[in-house]
Structure 1
């Protein structure tokens, strides 16, 4: 019976399939080649555009006294929501892309620095103007490329101990982290009674010893309000259709979903959960949310009105081997945890320069796995180090490397990157200036 079956397939079906392939291949191969050519060309155009831009790094030196809340930094972040990509022709023919920025907290041997980096130097004037508008007493200095702190250390695993992490959210993007408003830093209360979560981060950075370095970059780019997110279209399923296949097929061509629509959906879910459960389905029941549910709804509604950014947060610990303190790697990762909340969002390591526990256990049994683990760790460290130095994540060569961007609003960004007062944060190694330097009045006689 089997011989008859195989004979019928070989004499009947296979020749038909062969003829179909002969007819189809001349059509599909050129189509596939054109698609591959277009993808590679678009990547090359984008790389060319990015390489032609002149980036700029600014260091911000803080005065001895700052009395403004992080709300001033929130206004600053709203000005960084630059589009810049232009029309379809500029994007897909010239390779033009939206600018991105990197707000950086750096500790060099315990000395803490604030930096703002931009992918295009043309935004330097806008950034300086907005920072001075919110914090008139600060000093802003442009850092020459040769003096960039990332150029002071080269990748050398024989000389340095290195570890890195890229963070992600603990919950869905619509849920915000615990912000400065939740900490009541926007209230007009005495400075000594305020609790600033950034203070813990600065204290950790200030506790490092000579030879140790921790670099943290908060990379942001204006969130595209259209249907694209993480390079994939988010689509809404049709509730009228049932069945897994139908829903998945509809998801290919359905209605595009925006970030703020996702927030509304999460609010509605919380409200539905707050409706008392009862067998009486005819009687209308009002939601009776708990205190935690009310706080979730209030936070979601507040953030729905804010400007959103695509974000990625990356930290690198690099130290001379003689000065390396491994426990500080855990301190670097743990310093982001105070922004979290049980009912809201928080940060957790999404990617680290280490292998899984499973691979470590396998290495105890199989020697070749140990060598493979060492090779992987070496490549992880090399790539995250160079990705940090290039400030590369939104575009090539390290586009979306090992992580996907998550969405944060101006309120959240102002929480994790702002200039604390000297009362709230008394980190002794945080560089502050005595007074702001300014030009002489214009009406003085010459």
Structure 2
């Protein structure tokens, strides 16, 4: 039996069901209006339900208010022009300095990045590989380096940025490949990190598959998206290889690697289908003012975020001793599995090195094979690692995801524009600096190692070409 909305009759309820809108939608709209939270109303009713962008909605409100003022004040244009000209000595210097400084930082950072020599290494998988993703976690720890941004002079005048790495998986018609993108000067570091933990693999320099691809809307259909943490903040991780118990190195036949589903999906693509997945990372060194501390006391943003969430969970469990309604919690300690797992998982990941992480993916095919079966499986490809009930999951966001209604994109103009911008962003491996500064998530090395690691022998997907023979170094006592 459907719930009845207060103030809404049965006739309106039947009308909503006829139009395919359930009563829960009306309850959500009413709750957003009653709460007087304009931000929630824009994101919920306006954005998710009606598919109207924030900019268009706010611009419409601004123009409406401007029209009302114009009606009430006939000489509004003259008054506004005089006010702007009269205050120019105040706002013009401020805007010029702020805008000029931001443009300068963008320029020097772009100049620094353009002078880096990119390199793409393909990771060749051996026939026998037994090590768990913990080895990849240790390898990632070697890449957590504070290099290039030591002083304000290096950051803002020379435009130097921290090293950027990208761990990628790509399937070309069912042939699955693993890649690592990096700056050329960091190749020895990457090779040392990977070979130290996985001496059986091979790192081979190859041509960049993204740079040689040419997008033609007449021949190719694409669906591109980014992936973000939802429904909680960065303190809550996804399920990692520790939750799947492959950190204990069980026998191969007993391993349950969540990456197996992803590799298997990539292996089942048709001849004219492609899926690219990209995980761009750079070390996290952000700090924030310590809550409750002195003005100059700082703490790591990731560490502080995790501590704040753990304290919030514990306070909800214990309650407020001054509140009579929560007094019973002081005498009762109810051990909930959910709370124990939340605290245990967050504290474990807090002990690992944090990274800024941007994840994106794209499905490419011809018009005949561009179906929901193809691109929708790419949108939810990270589902095996998700735990939306009390941790987090990776949901598709940005690029082509917001398009739900025909009026959002007439003649596919915005769709093709987003596709071109996405491929430009993908080729640059851009996420943290101009020209593409996009929202990212904070993730520990444990989470990143779960999302990308050399796959063991337990994953037997036919699309992965493995090295036929194991190579060994010559004995060290051979005469030179």
TM over 0.5: yes
Q: TM-score, normalised by structure 2?
A: 0.76
User: Is 1:316 the equivalent of 2:380?
Assistant: no
Q: Within 1, Cα distance between the matches of 2:414 and 2:450?
A: 35
2:423 alignment partner in structure 1: 385
2:282 alignment partner in structure 1: 221
1:187 alignment partner in structure 2: 248
1:126 alignment partner in structure 2: 189
1:163 alignment partner in structure 2: 223
Q: Which has the higher contact order (CA 8 A, sep 6+)?
A: 1
Q: Within 1, Cα distance between the matches of 2:98 and 2:278?
A: 35
1:343 alignment partner in structure 2: 390
Could you report, residue by residue, the CA deviation over 1:235-283 in whole angstroms, capped at 9, with x for unpaired residues?
Answer: 67769xxxxxxxxxx9xx9977722111111111222222379647499
Pick from 233, 241, 260 the counterpart of residue 303 of structure 2: 260
1:32 alignment partner in structure 2: 95
1:53 alignment partner in structure 2: 116
Pick from 124, 128, 139 the counterpart of residue 202 of structure 2: 139
Residues 280 and 375 (structure 1), Cα distance of their counterparts in 2 relative to 1, 3 Å cut: closer
Q: How many residues align?
A: 397
State whether residues 280 and 357 of structure 2, in contact with CA within 8 Å, keep that contact through their aligned partners in structure 1: yes
1:274 alignment partner, SS class: helix
Unaligned 5+ residue runs, structure 2?
1-72
Q: Within 2, Cα distance between the matches of 1:220 and 1:427?
A: 27
2:317 alignment partner in structure 1: 274
Residues 351 and 370 (structure 1), Cα distance of their counterparts in 2 relative to 1, 3 Å cut: closer
Tell me how large the CA RMSD over aligned residues is.
2.9
After TM superposition, the structure 1 stretch with the greater mean CA deviation from structure 2, 319-328 or 99-108, is: 319-328
**Distance apart, 1:288 and its partner CA:** 2.4
**Distance apart, 1:103 and its partner CA:** 0.2
After TM superposition, the structure 1 stretch with the greater mean CA deviation from structure 2, 66-75 or 273-282, is: 273-282
**Distance apart, 1:420 and its partner CA:** 2.1
User: Is 1:329 the equivalent of 2:375?
Assistant: yes
**Distance apart, 1:290 and its partner CA:** 0.4
1:428 alignment partner in structure 2: 462
Q: Within 1, Cα distance between the matches of 2:202 and 2:187?
A: 14
Q: Within 2, Cα distance between the matches of 1:317 and 1:442?
A: 48
Q: Within 2, Cα distance between the matches of 1:19 and 1:354?
A: 42
State whether residues 213 and 317 of structure 1, in contact with CA within 8 Å, keep that contact through their aligned partners in structure 2: yes
Q: Within 2, Cα distance between the matches of 1:343 and 1:134?
A: 33
Pick from 168, 181, 189 the counterpart of residue 104 of structure 1: 168
Q: Within 2, Cα distance between the matches of 1:236 and 1:445?
A: 62
State whether residues 267 and 297 of structure 1, in contact with CA within 8 Å, keep that contact through their aligned partners in structure 2: yes
Q: Within 2, Cα distance between the matches of 1:117 and 1:207?
A: 25
State whether residues 235 and 309 of structure 2, in contact with CA within 8 Å, keep that contact through their aligned partners in structure 1: yes
Q: TM-score, normalised by structure 1?
A: 0.82
Unaligned 5+ residue runs, structure 1?
1-8, 228-234, 240-249, 364-368
**Distance apart, 1:21 and its partner CA:** 6.7
After TM superposition, the structure 1 stretch with the greater mean CA deviation from structure 2, 279-288 or 28-37, is: 279-288
State whether residues 393 and 399 of structure 1, in contact with CA within 8 Å, keep that contact through their aligned partners in structure 2: yes
1:204 alignment partner in structure 2: 265
